[in-house]
C-alpha cells in the first residue's frame, strides 16, 4: 500500500541544528522519549542520514511526505528540500506574533512559490489559535484554497490554551479553510473528535499519539469507524520511528479503511484525488 506521511521532518540542513533537538540520538531527552513510548530509535536518526531516511521511507512505501517546521527552520530550506527531493511537499512556517511577516511569507512562498500550506503554531506563546492576530493568515489561506496545520496539546505551556474549542471557533469563522489538527488535539481527544465530526473543514492527524499514548484507543476508534474520512496519517518522524509507526497503523487499522487513512484522505486535501 502506498502511504502519504503528513508529518515527517527529515535530517536535512536546518533540521540538524542542535537547537532543534530533533536528530540527537545521544541527547538524554531523545533516548528517554523513545524508551518511554516504546519506539525503536531509527538508524537514520542515529546517523543523521538523509539517505537512510529515504530508505526507511521506501521500506514502508511512503510515496509522499509532507514536511512542516517550527521556527528555526527557514522557508528557504523547506523550498530547497522540495526541489531536491520531489517526494517531499513542504509547508511554510512563520512567527505567529508577526502577522505582516506571515502575510509576506504566504505571498512569497505559497501564492507565488512551491510551498503548499502554512504551519501555524502558538505553543511558544500564551495565545490561542483564535487570537485576532492570526485571523488575517486564516483569511488569506482561505482565499488561496490552501490548508493550515495547527498543533495542539503536547508542548504547550498552559493546558487551558490548548483546548480544541479555540480551533472550533476558527473552523466556524473560516468554513472554507481546511484545518489539520496536528497531534489531533491530544490530550483533548474526544473533544477534538467532536470538532472533526461537526466541522466539514477540520481533519485530525494523531501522528505521534496514535502509537501507545494515553487516549490512542479513541483515535483508533475514530479512524476505524465514525471519522474514517476525517483522519490523516502522519508518523511524526523523527519523534517516532517511521517504520514502526506505519506497521503499527497497518496492524490496528481495519483493512477496509487503511486506504483512506494512509493515503486517500491526505490525497484529497492535497488535490491529488
pLDDT at res. 29? 85
8 A C-beta contact, residue 106 and residue 48:
no
Peptide bond into 187 cis (omega under 30): yes
Each residue's pLDDT expressed in tens, for the chain with a length of 273 residues: 999 999 999 999 999 986 666 778 888 888 899 999 999 999 999 999 999 999 999 999 999 999 998 778 999 999 999 999 999 999 999 999 999 999 999 999 999 999 999 999 998 888 999 999 999 999 999 999 999 999 987 666 678 888 889 999 999 999 999 999 999 999 999 999 999 999 999 999 999 999 999 999 999 999 999 999 999 999 999 999 999 999 999 999 999 999 999 999 999 999 997
pLDDT at res. 133? 97
Q: Strand pairing partners for 203?
A: 180
Distance in angstroms (rounded) separating the CA atoms of residues 231 and 208? 13
- β-pairing, 202-205 vs 92-93, is unpaired
pTM of the model: 0.96
**Torsion, Cα of 13, 30, 90, 14 (10° steps):** -20
Place of cell 483512506: 260
C-alpha cell at 222: 475514530
SS (H, E, C) 198-210: HCCCEEEECHHHH
Count CB-CB contacts under 10 A for residue 266: 25
Exposure string for 27-45, b = 16+ CB within 10 A, e = fewer: eeebeebbeebebebbebb
pLDDT at res. 20? 62
Amino acid at each position: 500500500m502506498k502511504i502519504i506521511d503528513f508529518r515527517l521532518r527529515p535530517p536535512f540542513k536546518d533540521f540538524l541544528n542542535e537547537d532543534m533537538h530533533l536528530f540527537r540520538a545521544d541527547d538524554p531527552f531523545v533516548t528517554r522519549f523513545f524508551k518511554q513510548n516504546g519506539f525503536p530509535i531509527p538508524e537514520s536518526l542515529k546517523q543523521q542520514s538523509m539517505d537512510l531516511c529515504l530508505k526507511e521511507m521506501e521500506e514502508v512505501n511512503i510515496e509522499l511526505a509532507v514536511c512542516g517546521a517550527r521556527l528555526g527552520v527557514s522557508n528557504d530550506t523547506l523550498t530547497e528540500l522540495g526541489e531536491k527531493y520531489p517526494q517531499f511537499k513542504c509547508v511554510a512556517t512563520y512567527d505567529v506574533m508577526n502577522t505582516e511577516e506571515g502575510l509576506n511569507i504566504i505571498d512569497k512562498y505559497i501564492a507565488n512559490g512551491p510551498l503548499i500550506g502554512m504551519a501555524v503554531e502558538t505553543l511558544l506563546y500564551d495565545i490561542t489559535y483564535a487570537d485576532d492576530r492570526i485571523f488575517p493568515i486564516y483569511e488569506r489561506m482561505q482565499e488561496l484554497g490552501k490548508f493550515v496545520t495547527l498543533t495542539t496539546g503536547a508542548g504547550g505551556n498552559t493546558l487551558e490554551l490548548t483546548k480544541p474549542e479555540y480551533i472550533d471557533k476558527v473552523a466556524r469563522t473560516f468554513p472554507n479553510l481546511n484545518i489539520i489538527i496536528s497531534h489531533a488535539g491530544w490530550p483533548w481527544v474526544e473533544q477534538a473528535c467532536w470538532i472533526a465530526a461537526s466541522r466539514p473543514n477540520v481533519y485530525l492527524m494523531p501522528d505521534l499519539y496514535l502509537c501507545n499514548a494515553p487516549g490512542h484507543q479513541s483515535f483508533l476508534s475514530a479512524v476505524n469507524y465514525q471519522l474514517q474520512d476525517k483522519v490523516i496519517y502522519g508518523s511524526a518522524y523523527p519523534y517516532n520511528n517511521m517504520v514502526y509507526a506505519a506497521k503499527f497503523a497497518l496492524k490496528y487499522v481495519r483493512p477496509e479503511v487503511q486506504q483512506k487513512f494512509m493515503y486517500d484522505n491526505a490525497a484529497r486535501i492535497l488535490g491529488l484525488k
